[in-house]
A and B are shown apart, each in its own frame.
Chain A
């Protein structure tokens, strides 16, 4: 896997035209009335994105949001950019067509746990594997909201829902593990209520050239209320959330004597484990390396459905050539011979013959 030699320093937005002058939340607010349920986590994400987009300094008309079907997929209607609310699960495929034909666009996909991981699982993994320059925001509320409360592919085993009155039976996906398994170059995770970290991860995703998956934990107050409360309650949050940053030792929890968290992540064979920092040689504490695929996967495995530990931040940020750049490079190498002679030569082929007027 090599970094594109042609444009080594090009970021995710490198070919998107910018605009001078300050932009505001209002610039990105569409006139459509927002219609999510009161208390829905989508509001927090929308607010964060509306606040984040102006900081990119892009021309608004060069931003496209594409969504599938589900509560979160209404998202594009509420942003004053170009947008498409498409069909269930297919947004990554549609966005691929947009990104491949238009390097001057910043393309975002908004999807949910059902849309991305159930009906659209195939498109998601292939978009990630190809490394199309798309930013995929996966809103994970671990439930089907729009169809009114069935379990989702991220619901805990044993979940009681309308469609699983005796408890769900199937193991949930860990979206970060799945994305890493699908060769995603960028994988991040944040909690909807942590505006600062969410904005930081979104910024890193936008700057990343290639597919970026950001899993955003959020609540469905109607059908799965409080599903992430353990990550929100002050007394529990610090013991469970493991925020990571490239180049920093992975420590979390209430501060220890050195000011860092009292828990540390260390290697344990091929996996990782959480130990008390005080009882650990500081040299053994894992320093986060976002370019290390294996480490990112091991970090993702610290999470389980009980959310005892949940890694947030940028788990992986590794750059390799994007599919759309490679497609365009192939076209360029082919020479773009589209003149009148080339056109006629194409239709004529290699074996033509001429019929002259019959003079018999």
Chain B
């Protein structure tokens, strides 16, 4: 849904209409290049200065049968002249390259939405493949939408007639035709895309030129056909001044891992095994050898995390990146890391589960696995980034915790963050907060014996000394067997084990975590208050919506909408899932209703209920797709409407 529009005085026809935000979804066959098309449109928007957020959605199969519903790949981009936090709920514009793409996506379009279809693909055979009994372009079923029928394949072929490219190769550039057309419609700058195409296909200048020609043809088609009555302008947004780039979660994670080497001064070693949707982190890091990053593609996840732990033992920052099924395989090694008390960064880019599940879709259902998925009492800190760009900062924090507390740390990203992108205020690489690894350099025995005690803890942090091979006089043996408190030798003593289990737990519990920030703005105009909310003059909302991880975007967007409707609602977002912020219980107790949307069946809700005896209300969805702001808006309103209980008592909490 587009917000209010105002016509601007356009010098030339067609008239340019100003929009505050637009959502476009490019959809086609897996082989149609929709991800590239979306990515380029996004880059144009970024270059232009719009705020933006993207949501790629593609099948797990590399090339599902052409023309079928399972083979549909799409890329949604939301761009605006103001700060936005989600990829948008419903596309204002759907570009459908074939009948299957239309059928799979048209249901998401609001009434009056624009559909641009490639009519060349609407053959009876393709219609049948997509399950259409009749041609939707002819049977009136799209009458609620503005439909533009464009013979993109034919037009592309025509534009490339002089290039000498074969028919098939020429037709392949039709995605760039679509991009050209949309670029014209939205007054996007074209130079960047042409430059990009020439660089991308540098090895094959003929193909590069074909793509540029197709792109220009699409642009010219818009300009000349008069089929499009209006074009649209979305002015640049005005975020905080500074230098920005577009970044995906996986790229931000990779950069954060490199930067963790800078802040800690330790060599970075990534041991990993390819898995969707985490592999791009490996791909990115494999290209940073000049930064001294070692990437090791192991024989499996067990070896990946094992090698990372070995690297940490020898004084590097050991890192492993994977998705849920990989975490399953790593559990025993992470448990060893807990017992050895060595730094280890474990990145889980969550995807739909259980088992192989939905490899290319998003979910938040590994939280309890991250918290408890090991034998014995084996606590690890868990940190979740909230947006693609935040992945950088989250992984840096995780590295700092891992190094300072000598512990494996879990970073829970997810598929939506991994492949989604947003403009990112580029940090100053040389003023990131340094972390002192504080390596042991000499004997530490309190009895003056001159021995080295590998488990003699720092009184404040409870972290043990990290003595790296090559350090004379500190030779020691550690392992997965229980260790004697202090001296570190093997110990089967019952009291010692009880003490060590509690010490390991206390160490993690004692990690300082920033207090939870609650966003609970008073109503802008108390006269317009409708219905529920705490009412004018109340010092807080009735409803607190809590989130973690990638639900930040949709929760924030939905809260803005609800506030825009004149209701009061508070939001807060958890970054540390373990340990939880110390004041969390008090915050939860202050609100009449605590609502927790999660892309699982209520895993954090379970933890909060257990920790704080709070009747957290779960709202859950596990469709493989992020929440929509619209959907959450309705959920928030629903919980506002319930109002306080008749007896005036809190129904959430007792202690």
Interface residues of A (CB under 8 A from B): 30, 32, 59-64, 66, 69, 76-77, 79-87, 90, 93-98, 100-102, 104-105, 122-123, 126, 327, 330-331, 333-338, 340, 342-344, 346-349, 351-358
C-beta contact mask, B299-330 vs A, less than 8 Å → 1, else 0?
A: 11011101111111111101000000000000
Cβ contacts under 8 Å, A61 to chain B? 469-475
The answer to whether B307 and A94 have CB atoms under 8 Å apart is yes
Cβ contacts under 8 Å, A330 to chain B? 289
CA distance A354 to B244 in the complex (A): 6
The answer to whether A348 and B245 have CB atoms under 8 Å apart is yes
Cβ contacts under 8 Å, A82 to chain B? 469, 475-477
Residue B240 is within 8 A (CB to CB) of chain A in the complex: yes
Of the 9-residue stretches B427-435, B456-464, B647-655, which lies at the interface with chain A?
A: B427-435
The answer to whether A351 and B43 have CB atoms under 8 Å apart is yes
The answer to whether B469 and A355 have CB atoms under 8 Å apart is no
The answer to whether A340 and B245 have CB atoms under 8 Å apart is no
CA distance A76 to B259 in the complex (A): 35
B516 to chain A, nearest CB (A): 29
Closest residue of chain B to A94 (Cβ to Cβ) is B310
The answer to whether A97 and B306 have CB atoms under 8 Å apart is yes
Residue B518 is within 8 A (CB to CB) of chain A in the complex: no
C-beta contact mask, B245-257 vs A, less than 8 Å → 1, else 0?
A: 1110000000100
CA distance A359 to B43 in the complex (A): 25
The answer to whether A334 and B310 have CB atoms under 8 Å apart is no
The answer to whether A351 and B47 have CB atoms under 8 Å apart is yes
A96 to chain B, nearest CB (A): 5
How many A-B residue pairs have C-beta atoms within 8 angstroms? Tell me. 215
Choose from B314, B473, B477 the contact partner of A30 (Cβ within 8 Å): B477
Cβ contacts under 8 Å, B289 to chain A? 330-331, 333-334
The answer to whether A86 and B469 have CB atoms under 8 Å apart is no
CA distance A82 to B299 in the complex (A): 26
The answer to whether A337 and B471 have CB atoms under 8 Å apart is no
The answer to whether A83 and B477 have CB atoms under 8 Å apart is yes
Task: Report the 6 A-B pairs with minimum CB-CB distance, sorted nearest first.
Answer: A85-B479, A97-B310, A97-B307, A93-B306, A334-B289, A93-B303
The answer to whether A358 and B479 have CB atoms under 8 Å apart is no
B416 to chain A, nearest CB (A): 21
Choose from A90, A336, A354 the contact partner of B306 (Cβ within 8 Å): A90
16 additional contacts (CB under 8 A) given A97-B269, A331-B292? A64-B469, A80-B475, A84-B478, A94-B306, A98-B314, A98-B469, A100-B296, A102-B469, A105-B469, A122-B299, A123-B302, A334-B290, A338-B291, A343-B259, A352-B245, A353-B244
B395 to chain A, nearest CB (A): 13
Cβ contacts under 8 Å, A347 to chain B? 255, 259, 426-427, 429
> Which residues 130-164 of B have a CB within 8 angstroms of A?
none
Of the 9-residue stretches B11-19, B332-340, B525-533, B546-554, which lies at the interface with chain A?
A: B332-340
Residue B59 is within 8 A (CB to CB) of chain A in the complex: no
The answer to whether A344 and B428 have CB atoms under 8 Å apart is yes
The answer to whether B481 and A355 have CB atoms under 8 Å apart is no
CA distance A287 to B104 in the complex (A): 72
Cβ contacts under 8 Å, A352 to chain B? 243-245, 426
CA distance A86 to B470 in the complex (A): 20
Closest residue of chain A to B256 (Cβ to Cβ) is A347
The answer to whether A87 and B480 have CB atoms under 8 Å apart is yes
The answer to whether B291 and A337 have CB atoms under 8 Å apart is yes
The answer to whether B244 and A101 have CB atoms under 8 Å apart is no
Closest residue of chain B to A360 (Cβ to Cβ) is B238
CA distance A352 to B478 in the complex (A): 47
Closest residue of chain A to B316 (Cβ to Cβ) is A101
Cβ contacts under 8 Å, B473 to chain A? 61
The answer to whether B296 and A336 have CB atoms under 8 Å apart is no
Cβ contacts under 8 Å, A59 to chain B? 470, 472
Name the residue in A30, A32, A80, A334 with the highest tally of chain B Cβ atoms < 10 Å from its Cβ: A334
The answer to whether B479 and A77 have CB atoms under 8 Å apart is yes
The answer to whether A32 and B490 have CB atoms under 8 Å apart is yes
The answer to whether B269 and A87 have CB atoms under 8 Å apart is no
B42 to chain A, nearest CB (A): 10
Choose from B49, B290, B309 the contact partner of A353 (Cβ within 8 Å): B49
CA distance A335 to B271 in the complex (A): 22
Assuming the contacts A101-B269, A353-B49, A355-B240, asked whether A93 and B314 have C-beta atoms less than 8 A apart, the reply is no
The answer to whether A62 and B470 have CB atoms under 8 Å apart is yes
Chain B interface, >50% SS class: mixed
CA distance A86 to B49 in the complex (A): 52
CA distance A97 to B242 in the complex (A): 40
The answer to whether B470 and A100 have CB atoms under 8 Å apart is no
Cβ contacts under 8 Å, B481 to chain A? 85
Cβ contacts under 8 Å, B313 to chain A? 64, 84, 94, 97-98
Cβ contacts under 8 Å, B294 to chain A? 100-101, 327, 331
A201 to chain B, nearest CB (A): 25
Cβ contacts under 8 Å, A122 to chain B? 299-300, 303
CA distance A59 to B474 in the complex (A): 12
Cβ contacts under 8 Å, A331 to chain B? 289-290, 292, 294
CA distance A81 to B46 in the complex (A): 56
B334 to chain A, nearest CB (A): 10
Choose from B310, B315, B477 the contact partner of A76 (Cβ within 8 Å): B477
CA distance A85 to B238 in the complex (A): 56
Closest residue of chain A to B192 (Cβ to Cβ) is A351
A328 to chain B, nearest CB (A): 8
CA distance A185 to B463 in the complex (A): 41
Cβ contacts under 8 Å, A104 to chain B? 470
Closest residue of chain A to B296 (Cβ to Cβ) is A100
CA distance A96 to B470 in the complex (A): 17
The answer to whether A348 and B477 have CB atoms under 8 Å apart is no
C-beta contact mask, B373-416 vs A, less than 8 Å → 1, else 0?
A: 00000000000000000000000000000000000000000000
Cβ contacts under 8 Å, B312 to chain A? 97
Cβ contacts under 8 Å, A123 to chain B? 299, 302-303, 306
Please list 22 pairs of residues, one from A and one from B, whose beta carbons are closer than 8 Å in the complex, sorted by A's number: A59-B470, A64-B313, A64-B314, A83-B477, A84-B479, A85-B479, A87-B332, A94-B306, A97-B309, A97-B310, A100-B307, A101-B294, A101-B315, A102-B315, A122-B303, A123-B299, A331-B292, A331-B294, A343-B430, A348-B243, A351-B47, A354-B244
The answer to whether B430 and A340 have CB atoms under 8 Å apart is yes
CA distance A318 to B279 in the complex (A): 35
CA distance A97 to B262 in the complex (A): 20
CA distance A356 to B49 in the complex (A): 11
Closest residue of chain A to B309 (Cβ to Cβ) is A94
Choose from A102, A343, A349 the contact partner of B245 (Cβ within 8 Å): A349
Residue B535 is within 8 A (CB to CB) of chain A in the complex: no
Assuming the contacts A105-B469, A126-B299, asked whether A344 and B310 have C-beta atoms less than 8 A apart, the reply is no
B28 to chain A, nearest CB (A): 24
Closest residue of chain B to A339 (Cβ to Cβ) is B430
CA distance A87 to B336 in the complex (A): 7
A69 to chain B, nearest CB (A): 8
Closest residue of chain B to A328 (Cβ to Cβ) is B294
B467 to chain A, nearest CB (A): 8
Cβ contacts under 8 Å, B246 to chain A? 351
Name the residue in B49, B474, B478 with the highest tally of chain A Cβ atoms < 10 Å from its Cβ: B478
> Which residues 265-307 of B have a CB within 8 angstroms of A?
267, 269, 271, 288-292, 294, 296, 298-300, 302-304, 306-307
Residue B581 is within 8 A (CB to CB) of chain A in the complex: no
Closest residue of chain B to A126 (Cβ to Cβ) is B299
Cβ contacts under 8 Å, A334 to chain B? 289-290
A307 to chain B, nearest CB (A): 32
Cβ contacts under 8 Å, A60 to chain B? 472, 475
Residue B241 is within 8 A (CB to CB) of chain A in the complex: yes
Cβ contacts under 8 Å, B259 to chain A? 343, 347
CA distance A331 to B332 in the complex (A): 31
The answer to whether A344 and B430 have CB atoms under 8 Å apart is yes
Cβ contacts under 8 Å, B303 to chain A? 90, 93, 96, 122-123, 126
